């Protein structure tokens, strides 16, 4: 489990079709320098396991599912920098929202504008993956809701009715401390919808399939 608060940036170098070397970009936060073999770490929002410790970083391996659903296997070009966040420790601060590191699909940077107090960024579906976007992400994109973009916990400022694209407002600190500042128009990004919305949908769908109606009385009976 992660929070979407990026702890550092690293360089990303493929060493095999399913294996990458991630090296720290200075300065290295304490939370990253103490990683051990087998630890979980979010790399651009993708939960990976530390397979090998190397000087200045680590090597991680991705499964076929991860390659199919994320930019690790679908990016048109290699990314120079990736966002890094170690898994949440017991007693740690939860400053963003619950992020699992299980990416739902891929989007791309559509537009970016600098304002007096923030960066306004639009993300849209990748055309070749539009069906996947529509099925797995769009229903959970709601105004003022949470979404993880390359592992960064962000708030949806606007979205179109169909959920094909959405806008986030990024404060200067987040823009400066993540790889958002390196993205170009058309760059692919990993997207993970808020897990709470998924559980709510599953709960409602399960009971509706049994022809049960969700009423105030039903919610009260079940402790809501």
CA dihedral 150, 154, 158, 160 (to 10 degrees): 30
Top mean-pLDDT range of 43-47, 131-135, 159-163: 43-47
The answer to the question of residue 25 being in a domain is yes
How far apart, in Å, are the Cα atoms of 211 and each of 197, 206, 207, 214? 21, 9, 7, 10
> Which is it for strands 119-125 and 188-193: parallel, antiparallel or unpaired?
unpaired
The answer to the question of residue 206 being in a domain is no
Q: Using DSSP, state whether 105 is helix, strand or coil.
A: strand
How far apart, in Å, are the Cα atoms of 206 and each of 199, 201, 223? 10, 8, 18
User: Which residues span the domain enclosing 19?
Assistant: 8-86
pTM recorded for the entire structure? 0.85
Q: Residue 159 above 80 pLDDT?
A: yes
8-state DSSP, 89: P
The answer to the question of residue 186 being in a domain is yes
Residues 119 and 86: their CA atoms lie apart, in Å, by: 26
The answer to the question of residue 123 being in a domain is yes
**50 shares a domain with 21:** yes
**14 shares a domain with 58:** yes
**125 shares a domain with 61:** no
**189 shares a domain with 111:** yes
Structure confidence by residue, pLDDT tens digits, 9-58:
999 888 888 888 999 987 788 888 888 999 999 999 999 999 999 988 99
**118 shares a domain with 72:** no
When divided into structural domains, the chain yields a total of 2
The answer to the question of residue 97 being in a domain is no
Q: Higher confidence at residue 8 or residue 13? A: 8
Residue-level pLDDT at 105: 85
Q: Residue 8 above 80 pLDDT?
A: yes
The answer to the question of residue 144 being in a domain is yes
Q: Is the separation of the CB atoms in 83 and 177 below 8 Å?
A: no
Q: Is the separation of the CB atoms in 212 and 190 below 8 Å?
A: no
DSSP per-residue codes, 108-175: EEEEEEE-SS-EEEEEEE-GGGHHHHHHHTGGG--TT-EEEETTEEEEEEEE-TTSSEEEEEE-HHHH
Band of pLDDT at residue 210, cut at 50, 70 and 90: low
- Least confident residue range of 1-5, 41-45, 61-65, 195-199: 195-199
The answer to the question of residue 28 being in a domain is yes
Residue-level pLDDT at 32: 85
CATH number of the domain to which 186 belongs: 2.40.30.20
**Residues of the chain above pLDDT 70, percent:** 88
Structure confidence by residue, pLDDT tens digits, 84-120:
999 987 777 778 888 999 998 889 999 999 999 999 9
Domain final position from 86, 121, 139: 86
């Amino acid at each position: 489990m992660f929070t979407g608060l990026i702890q550092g940036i690293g360089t990303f170098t493929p060493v095999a079709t399913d294996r990458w070397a991630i090296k720290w970009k200075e300065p290295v936060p304490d939370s990253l320098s103490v990683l051990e073999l087998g630890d979980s770490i979010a790399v651009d929002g993708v939960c990976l396991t530390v397979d090998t410790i190397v000087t200045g970083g680590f090597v991680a391996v991705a499964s076929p599912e991860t390659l199919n659903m994320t930019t690790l296997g679908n990016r048109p070009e290699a990314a120079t920098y990736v966002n890094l966040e170690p898994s949440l420790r017991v007693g740690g601060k939860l400053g963003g929202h619950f992020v699992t590191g299980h990416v739902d699909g891929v989007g791309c940077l559509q537009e970016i504008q600098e304002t007096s107090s923030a960066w306004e960024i639009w993300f849209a579906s990748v055309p070749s993956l539009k069906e996947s976007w529509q099925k797995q992400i769009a229903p959970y994109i709601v105004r003022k809701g949470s979404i993880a973009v390359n592992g960064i916990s962000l708030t949806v400022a606007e979205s179109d009715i169909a959920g094909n694209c959405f806008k986030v407002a990024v404060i200067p600190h987040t823009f400066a401390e993540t790889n958002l500042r390196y993205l170009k128009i058309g760059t692919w990004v990993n997207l993970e919808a808020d897990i709470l919305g998924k559980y709510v949908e599953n709960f409602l769908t399960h009971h509706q399939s049994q022809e049960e109606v969700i009423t105030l009385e039903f919610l009260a009976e079940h402790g809501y």
